[in-house]
Amino acid sequence: MGNLRDYQRKRDFSRTLEPATNEIGTTDRRAIFVVQLHHASRRHFDFRLQIGDVLKSWAVPKGPSFDPQVKRLAVEVEDHPLAYADFEGDIEHGYGKGHVDQFDQGVWTTPGDAEAQLQKGHLRFELFGKRLKGGWHLVRSGRKERQPAWFLIKAKDAFAGDVEADDLLNAKMTRSTRTAAKTPATRAAAKKSTARKKSVPRTKKLPRVRLAKAAAALTGARPAMPSNDFFKPELARLRASPPEGAQWLHEVKWDGYRILAAIADGEVKLWSRNALPWNDRLPDIVQSVESLGLHAARFDGELIALDGRGHSDFNGLQQTLSGEAQLPLVYMLFDLPSLEGSDLSRVGLLERKQLLEKLLAHGPKHLAFSTHVIGDGQEVFRMASDKELEGILSKRIDSPYRPGRGDDWLKIKRRDSDEFAVVGYTPPKGSRSGFGSLLLAKPDPQRRSGWIYVGRVGTGFSNAQLQKLSRSIADKGRAKPTVELAAIDPLLRDAQWVKPVAVAEVYYRGIGNKNLLRQPSLKIMRTDKTPADLVDSDRASSKPAKRKAGAERRKSVESKPIDIKITHPDRVVYPDDSYTKQDVVDYYTSIMKWFLPGVVDRPTSVIRCPEGTAKACFFQKHLIPGLKQVGSVTMKEESGARATYIYSRDAGSVIELVQFGVLEFHPWGSTIEQPDLANQLVFDLDPGDDVAWPRVVAAARLMHKLLAQLGLASFLRTTGGKGLHVVVPLNPGCAWAQVKDFAHAFAATVVQAHPLEFIATATKAQRSGKIYIDYLRNSRGATSVASYSLRARSGAPVAVPLRWSELGKLKSGHDFDIRSTPRRLARLRSDPWAGIDDVRQDLGAIIGKLR
């Protein structure tokens, strides 16, 4: 959501071909920039950066300059819709009359929050277009102007040079410039456009011939035909601990996306590990690989995003690829299977990496070499774990590059770690001395002095640790367990049990059956702690493990004391109504017990308006840096990639999000515990602009009646916009694919029976005079506005649940707002949706009966 009011106010869309608005609020693509040459009354270049779902725009009279010493005036103008990025042609009437040419377009990145940098008056960013490349600055001018004035300045980098925007015009733009040459300024521009042309500055290319000779001289190198087709990557096998010995090298396991790069005849193609082309999504990486100046090569690596501190940020990578953020991307390279006509797949890994390191020594900053350590696997893994990296990869230094999964590459993931008391040991076996494994336990929350057995740890010990621990527990054990056993383990038949005597910090990969640790491995013996410390810690942090349902769950999410500092409470958030940020906080606080049940433990997308609805608003579904009380959960997306989503845990989570500028909450129709099972179905009735409200009311009643005929109870909600939601609870839950198919079939049936009233096609041009039944909210990852959520629209409307008996009293879908909703709730004697959590209706069984 962005501020397009000024854009729309200045234009008569019945007389201009310019796009009126965005069709949708999110793009699910990289954030773009666009530069357009506008032959208006005063010729200028329009420079636009996508932030959120609008194009922030500046008019640059003389166009961008590649000379870092030149400051080009950039006058801030109104935000434009994303659809404007593709606009080209004549504006024949009114505001902006003149011809518009496309000058350049591409993606852009910035190390940090773009909106925050603009507020401070200095945005540092990088462009990846066909003409504009490298680093740039937008710096706010100190001069007082009628419109905010900035300076657009080229950064000092490999793309800097004595080049102006007019030097890069093509024949079409040059003709447009000459045609528009009516004033001294445009005549001067036309004269310059016919002058000697210059090319875009380029980075220096590497000595390809020398590298080709070095590759061909390696032992095992063979001639190869250049190809930029997909090639199968080598995959790693999961191991619990790193291998020992100097025949292994160890690398960081980067937290990103595996990307393969192939070059043939200088043409670069990027591929995912599943053979999907990625050139369109990664023009910055394509340009970086092209800048190496290679004729033929194959690279293997991981795509990562860098946050403001230069650290790898997987959430930031997800947000950047979906257009929510603009973090710089880096292609972290760790292998070189082919180079300049030489197949290196049979060359030893260490030699391949040494050549790769030389190749990248003077390469672009978006290509990085993944360094390694030879030997010391346990120490490398410990360091990676201490730095909270994803883990390490261990590879045989003399291994060839083999497609598929084998034993030459091993991945050792960082595991969860926790502290446990040592409560016994098993006898040693084979050549091992002292003990076989240590027996671990955690405090029993039900009994003050009790302990619960959690499993055995037998790996990760050094010889010194084995000897020391053996001396401390030798001859102190007994056959009778000193802790509560949840399961009988035949391997404990000869175990010796002791009272809790020491504390071990242990890595593990989750909790298995009978609440036993999975694949535990010793991290360190905590000589600074005693078992008594664990008892105190566990008591302070213990919490119920099971979720409650129905009315009992509603009580369990009542507001707790909220300790969130609200900054800028007087900031006006809704300018048309003078509602402030504190008003928004007060609203959500006052209706919290009604609001929470609809959002707690549900993955949630939010609409953030940090500067209020008059400025750019942002769609956010991933974790925002700085959040402390909001929950996060990592789940697999439809693409197969894993992403970290946010969700509300309690009232503190909600208010923390409001502090970060959130106005709207849009939860999934499923929970974090069962994301693949829908527990509600939503039909959004969205009327065309010329549909009278009584028809919307009749449509909702018809949907209610038809669903009831199928045996499905449904509930009613205003959207805070033009329409209504008909919500169907599902208990037990139903697989998303089945829910989506049912919703589609039901909507199609209604349209078929009432073709003059309804439509189930999203195309706006076909909605005139009809009510759109939006069934597309019923798929995994889709969202609907939460009950009692504010909307980022004039008037601060609210989406409000109603009884079906109240439908006839409604005058619109935005009858309730930030002021009237709390008053309504204060008058209610019971919840309009009372019992919704306890309704049992099995969609799968109903579908089975219909077949």
Residues classed as catalytic: 253
Q: Which of 67, 63, 61, 48 is nearest to 7 (CA)?
A: 48
Spatial neighbors of 443 by CB under 8 A, at least 6 apart, are 421, 450, 451, 452, 534, 535, 538, 539
Distances (CA, A) of 615 to 51, 371, 782: 11, 44, 26
DSSP for 464-529, written as a single string: HHHHHHHHHHTT--BSS-SSB-SS--GGGTT-EEEEEEEEEEEEES-B-GGGPBSS-EEEEE-TT-
- Give yes or no for a contact between 237 and 411, defined as CB atoms under 8 angstroms apart: yes
Which tokens hold the place of 438?
Answer: 């240590």
Distance of CA 613 to the CA centre of its chain: 23
| Antiparallel, parallel or unpaired: β 771-774 and 758-759 | parallel
Are residues 79 and 616 in contact, defined by beta-carbon separation less than 8 angstroms? yes
Tokens at residue 845, please? Answer: 């069984």
Smallest Cα–Cα separation from 185: which of 294, 61, 65?
Answer: 61
Residue 578 DSSP code: T
Spatial distance between the Cα atoms of 80 and 592, rounded to a whole number of angstroms: 36
Tell me which amino acid residue 801 is.
P
- Cβ contact 837:550 at 8 Å: yes
CB distance 521 to 460 below 8 Å? yes
Helix, strand or coil, per DSSP, at residue 654: helix
Please report which helix (H) or strand (E) contains residue 808, including its range: none
- Beta-carbon contacts of 676 under 8 Å, excluding residues fewer than 6 positions away, are 670, 735, 736, 780
Q: Which long-range contacts (CB under 8 A, 24 or more apart) does 274-280 make?
A: 274/640, 275/230
C-alpha gyration radius of the chain: 31
What is the number of H-type helices and E-type strands within the chain? 19, 39
Provide the sign of the torsion angle of the four alpha carbons 566, 569, 571, 572, taken in this order: positive
The 3-class secondary structure across 688-757, one letter per residue, is CCCCCHHHHHHHHHHHHHHHHHCCCCCEEEECCCCCEEEEEEEEEEEEHHHHHHHHHHHHHHHHHHCCCC
Nearest CA to 138 among 117, 157, 159? 117
Secondary element (H or E) of residue 268:
strand 267-272
Tell me the sheet residues that pair with 55: 50, 80
Residues with Cβ within 8 Å of residue 572, at least 6 apart in sequence: 578, 579, 580, 612
Buried-state track 14-37, b at ≥16 Cβ within 10 A, e below 16? eebebbebbeebbbeebbbbbbbb
Which residues have CB under 8 Å from 540's CB, separation 6+? none
In a 10 Å sphere around its CB, with 0-12 CB exposed, 13-18 middle and 19+ buried, how is residue 618 labelled?
buried
Rounded Cα distance, 257 and 300, in Å: 11
Comparing C-alpha atoms, which of 693, 707, 803 is closest to residue 747?
Answer: 707
* Per-residue DSSP letter, 240: S
Report in angstroms the alpha-carbon separations of 304 from 52, 320, 335, 347, 733. Answer: 21, 10, 16, 27, 36
